[in-house]
Amino acid sequence: MISTASINQLNAQSMSNTNQSGSRIPAKGMALFAKDGNFQPYEFTRHAVGDNDILIEILYAGICHSDIHMGRGDWNEIAYPFVPGHEIAGRVVQAGKNVTKFKVGDYAGIGCIVNSCGQCGYCKADEEQFCEKGMVGTYASVDYHHHDEITQGGYANNYVISEDYAIKIPQNADIQKIAPLLCAGITTWSPIHFSNVKKGESVAVAGFGGLGHMAVQYMVALGASVTVFDITDDKKADAIRLGAVRYVNVNSPNELEGLKDQFSFIVSTIPDKYDPMLYVRMLKENGELAIVGMPSLANTPVIPTTFLAFAARRKVYGSMIGGIKETQEMLDYSVARGIYPEVKIISADQIDEAYRNVIDGKVKFRYVIDAKTLK
């Protein structure tokens, strides 16, 4: 656990060290100062722009349910002030002398990873999310490449990042809708391709929110027959509009009849407590259930191993975002085919309300903050 005193000490040390070789970058954002607090304006600094770094002017930042879990301490204790945001789209305004991937004026994105060791087997295999030393996350993470300062996220006006961990955004992209692809997009894209979903297969998505509606679009684009599961009828029309062939309200028992042994692949995006075995039983023999939803520790679902024995030859695995190379592939594919999240653009003073709506399930499907509205 990193205490508030520790974060202040680390950042002060980092500022002192960096100022010897370059100027730190002033930033302003929206931060939580306590797990039960509201968002307030916050001024801080980021590490200097190094020879291999770019400075991104943030244009838009998506609100992910993970931001809420982290800010509320649902997974672990964090230090405050805390600036969330790991779905970031912006424009390059400065580039280090060794940068070749970007030039000033280019669009650039940032997802959940801003650095890693670069040397372990996972990093060399373009799977930085599994870095043996530990990936450096976009927020609330110890950045061991910059004097162990604590990273602050994208609910802010800028970000400094190595070009190797930034994502190129095509100039013809719908920039207002790009940010959620950097988490919701890659989080669903990765298991869909890991499980090799094919044209004509019967597949399903459990949970039809920010992640789920991206999973539907990707599998429809692959030519699969997609069923959607959720807990109300409110999103049925949207699921059908995005290409699903069936929508099932799991709170209506009659709608669940006849679904045993039906699907070759199911991705669960559910961010709350549920029964994973409900979906395991729906898998065909050799079918796969990919779990990407991350509920709070208090609401973490449990799979009884005894029940798995009676649902033999079905596979269950977890998946966590994707590496930088795979994220770039996902974004290029999405833009080329016009696959975007459905978003609602909000101002910075609406973040608290947006959080409440996400928790209450009242959003379709991703809130995106307009960084120009930061005070």
> Is this model's pTM higher than 0.75 or not?
yes
- pLDDT of 364 reads 84
Rounded mean pLDDT of the chain? Answer: 93
Q: How many CB atoms lie within 10 A of CB 363?
A: 20
Tell which residue, 64, 309, 292, has the closest CA to residue 195. 292
The secondary structure of 225-263 as a DSSP string is: EEEEEESSSTTHHHHHHTT-SEEEETTSGGGGTT-TT-E
In this structure, of 3-7, 121-125, 206-210, 285-289, the range with the lowest mean pLDDT score is 3-7
Contacts of 3 (CB under 8 A, 6+ apart): 79
Q: How many CA atoms lie within 13 A of 216 on its CB side?
A: 30
Tell which residue, 61, 72, 69, has the closest CA to residue 159. 61
pLDDT of 106-149, one tens digit each? Answer: 999 999 999 999 999 999 999 999 999 999 999 999 999 999 99
Alpha-helical (H) ranges within the chain are 4-19, 65-71, 121-124, 184-194, 212-221, 236-241, 276-280, 305-309, 324-337, 351-359
- pLDDT of 362 reads 83
For the segment 281-287, the average pLDDT, to the nearest whole number, is 97
- pLDDT of 7 reads 40
Q: How far apart are CA 267 and CA 185, in angstroms?
A: 13
For the segment 362-375, the average pLDDT, to the nearest whole number, is 92
SS3 call for 169: strand
Q: How far apart are CA 219 and CA 208, in angstroms?
A: 14
Domains of the chain: 4-181+340-373 (3.90.180.10), 184-318 (3.40.50.720)
The amino acid at 282: M
- pLDDT of 335 reads 98
* Segment 234-239 long-range contacts (CB within 8 Å, at least 24 positions apart): 235/208, 235/364, 238/208, 238/213, 238/342, 238/364, 238/365, 239/208, 239/213
Spatial strand order of the sheet with 283-291 comes to 246-249, 225-230, 202-206, 263-268, 283-291, 315-318
b/e map of 179-217 (b: 16 or more CB within 10 Å)?
A: bbbbbbbbbbbbbbbebebeeebbbbbbbbbbbbbbbbb
Cβ atoms 259, 248 nearer than 8 A: yes
> Which token pair is 181?
């692809």
pLDDT band at residue 3, thresholds of 50, 70 and 90? very low
Q: Quick check: 199 pLDDT over 90? A: yes
Q: How far apart are CA 293 and CA 296, in angstroms?
A: 10
% residues pLDDT > 90 (the chain): 89
Q: Quick check: 268 pLDDT over 90? A: yes
Q: How far apart are CA 15 and CA 9, in angstroms?
A: 10
> Which token pair is 50?
């190094």
pLDDT band at residue 257, thresholds of 50, 70 and 90? very high
pLDDT of 13-26, one tens digit each? Answer: 433 333 334 799 99
Cβ atoms 205, 269 nearer than 8 A: yes
End-to-end Cα separation, the chain, in angstroms: 31
Q: Quick check: 286 pLDDT over 90? A: yes
> Which token pair is 367?
């809130």
The amino acid at 159: Y
- pLDDT of 22 reads 77
pLDDT of 47-75, one tens digit each? Answer: 999 999 999 999 999 999 999 999 999 99
Q: Quick check: 2 pLDDT over 60? A: no
Q: How far apart are CA 3 and CA 82, in angstroms?
A: 12
Cβ atoms 182, 205 nearer than 8 A: no
Radius of gyration of the CA atoms of the chain, in A? 21
Q: How many CB atoms lie within 10 A of CB 340?
A: 19
